[in-house]
Structure 1
Amino acid sequence: MKFNNREYKLSINGINHWIKIEGYENKSMPLILIHGGPGGNHYNFERTVGRMISKERTVVYYEQRGSGRSDKPESADDYSIDLLVSDFKVLKDSLGIEKADLLGYSFGGELALEIAYAFPNDINKLVLSGPSLMYSNIQQLIQIQGFMSVAEGILLERIETILKQKKSIEEKYNEVWSIVDTKTVDRFLFEDQSVAEQNRLLWNKSGLQNTGQMMKALYKSPPHVPLLHRLKKIENETLIITGVHDRNTGLSVSKIIDKELNYSSLELFYNSAHFPEMEEKEKFVKLTLEFLNTKD
């Protein structure tokens, strides 16, 4: 690698991307972290389990185009899976990394799989935490069901009314998201509401917001062949971590991915919803490091 521990901006495909390197002194194979969203950031992760992992591993953070502390493209249409995969390749090569492990959470897990599919020889192992399949209707159905399981009173009645309408799943999904309040979203994402409160405090402290622009653009330009139909071609050893109460990407999606991949294992976190890295930090770090540090 060409850089020591530091935080800076790197121009990738004409867009300045936020980069941070920690644990360089460990001299390990770099572990590149891929955040979710789409359009999220690493702020919370780097202040929680990221610090714990970097005590043993060389960790590379980067935030995707238009996300977090990275700059936005000039056009709202300058987002696609292919562009995000290309950005990763330029990043890796610019840092002088020959081969890396990947840890992707939520949509970042899906993007990690896309990267491994595109550049199999550049990637060693994959850790996927609550990975998504955003171009599958199952994802939207899981989230609608998830909100129904935690919504109360009038809100639950409004969701049930939406579901009775003669609209597409996508339209119902967007309408449900438009009416849910902060407390319901916290119950949706977390089992332990004290952890949800800590998470939201960090979100607020970061001052970073997901504009939703990337998600809208990605839905407009889906891959020609859905990832679900390409998973069998991915040969990388993969650890899938999923909270059994995950109402966002869902245990069923993780099971589908695990079934399709050739060399994967699924670890369940029984006290977690969508963020096992925050609800069961010590277990998350232990399993991740054990998996990554085990020689083939």
Structure 2
Amino acid sequence: MKNGEYRLMINGIYHWIKVEGQENNTIPLFIIHGGPGGNLYFFERTIGPLLSKERTIIYYEQRGCGRSGSPGTDNAYTFKELIGDFKELQERTGFDKVDLLGYSFGGELALEIAHALPNKINKIILSSPSLIGLKIQYLIQLVGFMSIGDTTLVHKVEQILSQQNSIEEKYLEIWKSVDSESVDRLFFENQNIAKEYRRLTEESGLVNTGLMLKALQNNPPKIPLFERLKDIHQSILIITGAQDRNSGLAISNLIHRNLINSKLILFNKSAHFPYLEETDNFIEKLSAFLE
């Protein structure tokens, strides 16, 4: 495919696609965004053009996300369907094998893709990956808010945690309680980058409906991903911010310990977005790994 933007009909849904760096003639690097339900608008305007100077990059936004169309029902967001979309997309682009860069939930989806399509995936980079099927993921974020919150937020979190309801319900209530500054401190060490992230998020006009997260929570895989990690054989680089308060070092360590061919690198000046807070270092490590 030539450089440019495309809208491809995949499994009955128009998917937004963008190709950059085709002239580099490298194994294409597919960028898999987080969320669940996020988009690539910010990535496309920051680190993406730097990566495409040396590599062929293919962006795509998942069903119901960003500039892609939505499925007919609110439940059509299972991993099986997301993997099916990727499989057809890869076939349509004409590449037998591709590299994957997944950040946050995109890292988890990249691992699911590699597990389902082992002969189609070359190398994988995971940036601050999640495991949304584990309750510990909620606990990490709750502890994260406690670590950056003021007295009011700490009291609010304590009050919610004392309630007699599920951890999922506590999680949702706390997220409804926090202000934008607290969210920025959760995600970023550098608050100037946080402001730019928020500015571009507002500029994009793209919103996360929450439907994908809800659907994935309601339709988890029969065997949790962390129990299947040992079956993934690709060479995998995990890059995690040492200050990550969202998915956290605990999740990255769990993934790293259970993969058979992975390397974990900590970025000491980063929280959940090392590719933004230490961009030069991120590109250097990614390039060396893919070479």
TM-score, with length taken from structure 1: 0.97
Q: CA deviation at 1:8?
A: 1.3
- Specify every segment of 5 or more residues in structure 2 that has no aligned partner in the other structure, as ranges: none
**Deviation per residue, 1:132-151 (Å, 9 max, x gap):** 00000110000000011111
Q: CA deviation at 1:153?
A: 2.4
Which residue of structure 1 lines up, in the alignment, with residue 256 of structure 2? Answer: 258
Q: Secondary structure at the match of 2:197?
A: helix
Q: State the alpha-carbon separation in 2 of the partners of residues 221 and 142 from structure 1.
A: 22
Which residue of structure 1 lines up, in the alignment, with residue 211 of structure 2? Answer: 213
Q: CA deviation at 1:170?
A: 1.3
Q: State the alpha-carbon separation in 2 of the partners of residues 201 and 27 from structure 1.
A: 34
**Deviation per residue, 1:181-201 (Å, 9 max, x gap):** 100000000011111011111
**Alignment counterpart, residue 18 of structure 2, candidates 17, 20, 29:** 20
Q: Secondary structure at the match of 1:20?
A: strand
Q: State the alpha-carbon separation in 1 of the partners of residues 241 and 207 from structure 2.
A: 25
Q: How many pairs were matched up?
A: 291
Which residue of structure 1 lines up, in the alignment, with residue 114 of structure 2? Answer: 116
Q: CA deviation at 1:34?
A: 0.3
**Alignment counterpart, residue 65 of structure 2, candidates 64, 67, 71:** 67
Which amino acid counterpart does residue 123 of structure 1 have in structure 2?
I
Q: State the alpha-carbon separation in 1 of the partners of residues 136 and 14 from structure 2.
A: 34
Q: CA deviation at 1:78?
A: 1.1
Which residue of structure 2 lines up, in the alignment, with residue 171 of structure 1? Answer: 169
Report % sequence identity: 55
Give every structure 1 segment of 4 or more consecutive aligned residues whose post-TM-superposition deviation is greater than 3 Å: none
Q: State the alpha-carbon separation in 2 of the partners of residues 169 and 220 from structure 1.
A: 15
Which amino acid counterpart does residue 47 of structure 1 have in structure 2?
R
Which residue of structure 2 lines up, in the alignment, with residue 39 of structure 1? Answer: 37
Which residue of structure 2 lines up, in the alignment, with residue 158 of structure 1? Answer: 156
165-174 vs 11-20, greater mean Cα deviation: 165-174
Q: CA deviation at 1:172?
A: 1.1
Q: State the alpha-carbon separation in 2 of the partners of residues 206 and 274 from structure 1.
A: 21
- Specify every segment of 5 or more residues in structure 1 that has no aligned partner in the other structure, as ranges: none
Q: State the alpha-carbon separation in 1 of the partners of residues 202 and 164 from structure 2.
A: 37
**Deviation per residue, 1:44-97 (Å, 9 max, x gap):** 111111111100000000000000000011111111011000100000001111
Which residue of structure 1 lines up, in the alignment, with residue 145 of structure 2? Answer: 147
Which amino acid counterpart does residue 282 of structure 1 have in structure 2?
D
41-50 vs 229-238, greater mean Cα deviation: 41-50
**Deviation per residue, 1:4-61 (Å, 9 max, x gap):** 0010100010000000000000000010110000000011111111111100000000
Q: Secondary structure at the match of 1:208?
A: coil
Q: Secondary structure at the match of 1:9?
A: strand
Which residue of structure 2 lines up, in the alignment, with residue 281 of structure 1? Answer: 279
Q: State the alpha-carbon separation in 2 of the partners of residues 286 and 68 from structure 1.
A: 28
Q: Secondary structure at the match of 1:186?
A: helix
Q: CA deviation at 1:155?
A: 2.0
Q: State the alpha-carbon separation in 1 of the partners of residues 104 and 29 from structure 2.
A: 17
Which amino acid counterpart does residue 55 of structure 2 have in structure 1?
R
**Deviation per residue, 1:230-273 (Å, 9 max, x gap):** 00000000000000110111111000000000000001000000
Which residue of structure 2 lines up, in the alignment, with residue 202 of structure 1? Answer: 200
Q: State the alpha-carbon separation in 1 of the partners of residues 76 and 121 from structure 2.
A: 25
Q: Secondary structure at the match of 1:120?
A: coil
Which amino acid counterpart does residue 182 of structure 1 have in structure 2?
S
> Equivalent residues in 2 for 1:169-248 (5 A)?
169-248=167-246
Which amino acid counterpart does residue 154 of structure 1 have in structure 2?
T
Q: Secondary structure at the match of 2:101?
A: strand
Q: Secondary structure at the match of 1:230?
A: helix
Q: State the alpha-carbon separation in 2 of the partners of residues 203 and 286 from structure 1.
A: 26
Q: State the alpha-carbon separation in 2 of the partners of residues 22 and 72 from structure 1.
A: 25
Q: Secondary structure at the match of 1:235?
A: coil
Which amino acid counterpart does residue 42 of structure 2 have in structure 1?
N
Q: State the alpha-carbon separation in 1 of the partners of residues 64 and 164 from structure 2.
A: 35
Which amino acid counterpart does residue 180 of structure 1 have in structure 2?
V
Q: CA deviation at 1:280?
A: 0.5
Q: Secondary structure at the match of 2:194?
A: helix
Q: Secondary structure at the match of 1:21?
A: strand
Q: State the alpha-carbon separation in 1 of the partners of residues 271 and 129 from structure 2.
A: 12
55-64 vs 156-165, greater mean Cα deviation: 156-165
Q: State the alpha-carbon separation in 2 of the partners of residues 289 and 46 from structure 1.
A: 18
Q: Secondary structure at the match of 2:189?
A: coil
Q: State the alpha-carbon separation in 2 of the partners of residues 202 and 281 from structure 1.
A: 17
TM-score, with length taken from structure 2: 0.99
Q: State the alpha-carbon separation in 2 of the partners of residues 66 and 117 from structure 1.
A: 23
Q: Secondary structure at the match of 2:207?
A: coil
Q: Secondary structure at the match of 2:119?
A: helix
